[in-house]
Amino acid sequence: MTRPEEVWIPLVDEPIGTIVAQIQADHAEIDALVDTPQRLLAFRTFAYIRVGLVLGELLLENDIEPYDGSETWIDQLLDNPEHKARVVEEVRAVAEQVARDVSDDAPLGPDEGARERFVEFARRRLEQS
């Protein structure tokens, strides 16, 4: 059976999904920051977008070798330690922003008042039948 976060996360064009997953695996502090399914979903969504933007900026700012069948332009960019550090820092920044958002800490579903109103409604309906 798949885990809930695997169901919620859409397939992402590679290699961005792989890059984010590898950075997350290499930096345990990220997992601690995105420790709920809601935070993980937000983290992956925004990390994919922001890593794509960073890679696009790096591509525009740097000359790369023409493709010879061995390394993609992304591989070439990430071979540079400064570029890789920039991507890692962007992923870490996304995790920190997601962790600061407390809106996902609110309980999911109806509040206690709504539950009580529903129980009362259900009780009345059952008494009428």
pLDDT, tens digit, 9 for 90 and up, residues 89-125: 999 999 999 998 866 556 666 778 888 898 898 888 8
Domain count within the chain: 1
| Higher-scoring residue by pLDDT: 87, 15 | 87
Q: What is the mean pLDDT of the chain?
A: 84
Question: Using 50, 70 and 90 to split pLDDT, how confident is the model at 24?
Answer: very high
**Global confidence as pTM:** 0.69
Residues in the chain, overall count: 129
Buried/exposed 31-62: b ≥16 CB within 10 Å, e otherwise = eebbeebbbbbbbbbbbbebbeebbeebeeee
By residue range, what is the domain housing residue 67? 4-128
Distance from C-alpha of 121 to C-alpha of 1, rounded to nearest angstrom: 37
